[in-house]
């Protein structure tokens, strides 16, 4: 299983809800976590590995605290966004080699199911709030480069084309 890279059209798909909390969903979550840790990410969404369902994994602190506290999030819905915004330098495993500041709500309230099908409500702030928004965007086929200024996106597109010509990704 491999992380799909921009401009793979599958990254633009709308993902469907997870209906069964079965061994397949469990295996998928486990694999997503393995890939996320192996690639040094803090979040990964199932559509990024070509599996268009509403399943994401997060662990926003493991790189700094050096231990793992993974969260598996199924069918998430953000039902409250703070008016207060924050700009964070974002990166994405599907867009290697590019970072850009993205403006998002600094606080959110989100509901989801965990891997056991248990319903949860969480208030998230800081990097975790940003990650929730970034990963849930993936479920709706939105990449963070779709949320940056026209000018920055043009710079990205130019760099990307150059790299493709040079034989890279």
Is position 92 an interface residue for Zn ion (rule: CB under 5 A)?
Answer: yes
**CB-based contact 53:15 (threshold 8 Å):** yes
Binding mask 102-141 for Zn ion (x = CB under 5 A): ----------------------------------------
CB of 93 to Zn ion, least distance (A): 6
Query: Is 69 strand, coil or helix?
Result: coil
What whole-number distance in Å separates Cα of residue 5 and Cα of residue 2?
9
Annotation says 135 is catalytic: yes
Binding mask 40-79 for Zn ion (x = CB under 5 A): ----------------------------------------
Closest to Zn ion by CB, 92 vs 130, is 92
Q: Name the segment binding Zn ion (CB under 5 A); options: 50-58, 69-77, 89-97, 148-156.
A: 89-97
What the block records as the tokens of 79 is: 């039902």
| Of 15-23, 70-78, 81-89, 91-99: span binding Zn ion (CB under 5 A) | 91-99
Give the interface segment with Zn ion, choosing from 18-26, 54-62, 92-100, 116-124 (CB under 5 A).
92-100
d(CA 151, CA 122): 35
CB of 122 to Zn ion, least distance (A): 20
Burial 31-54 (b: 16+ CB within 10 A, else e): bbbebbbeeebbbbbbbbbebbbb
- Count of residues that interact with Zn ion, criterion CB under 5 A: 1
Virtual CA dihedral for 86, 38, 145, 126, nearest 10 degrees? -10
Cα–Cα distance measured from residue 13 to residue 18, given in angstroms and rounded to the nearest whole number: 15
Nearest-angstrom CA–CA distance, 133 and 104? 8
User: Applying CB under 5 A, which residues contact Zn ion?
Assistant: 92
Catalytically active residues, by annotation? 135
């Amino acid at each position: 299983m491999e992380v799909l890279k921009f401009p793979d059209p599958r990254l633009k798909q709308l993902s469907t809800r997870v209906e069964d909390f079965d061994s397949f969903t469990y295996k998928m979550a486990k694999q997503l976590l393995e890939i996320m840790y192996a690639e040094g990410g803090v979040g990964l969404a199932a559509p990024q590995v070509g599996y268009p369902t509403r399943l994401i994994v997060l662990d926003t602190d493991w790189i700094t605290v050096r231990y793992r506290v993974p969260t598996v999030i199924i069918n998430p819905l953000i039902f409250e966004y703070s008016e207060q915004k924050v700009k964070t330098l974002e990166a994405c495993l599907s867009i290697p080699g590019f970072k850009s500041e993205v403006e998002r709500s600094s606080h959110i309230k989100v509901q989801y199911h965990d891997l056991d099908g248990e319903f949860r409500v969480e208030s998230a702030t800081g990097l975790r709030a940003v990650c929730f928004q970034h990963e849930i965007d993936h479920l709706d086929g939105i990449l963070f480069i779709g949320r940056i200024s026209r000018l920055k996106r043009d710079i990205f597109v130019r760099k990307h084309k150059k790299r493709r010509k040079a034989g890279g990704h």
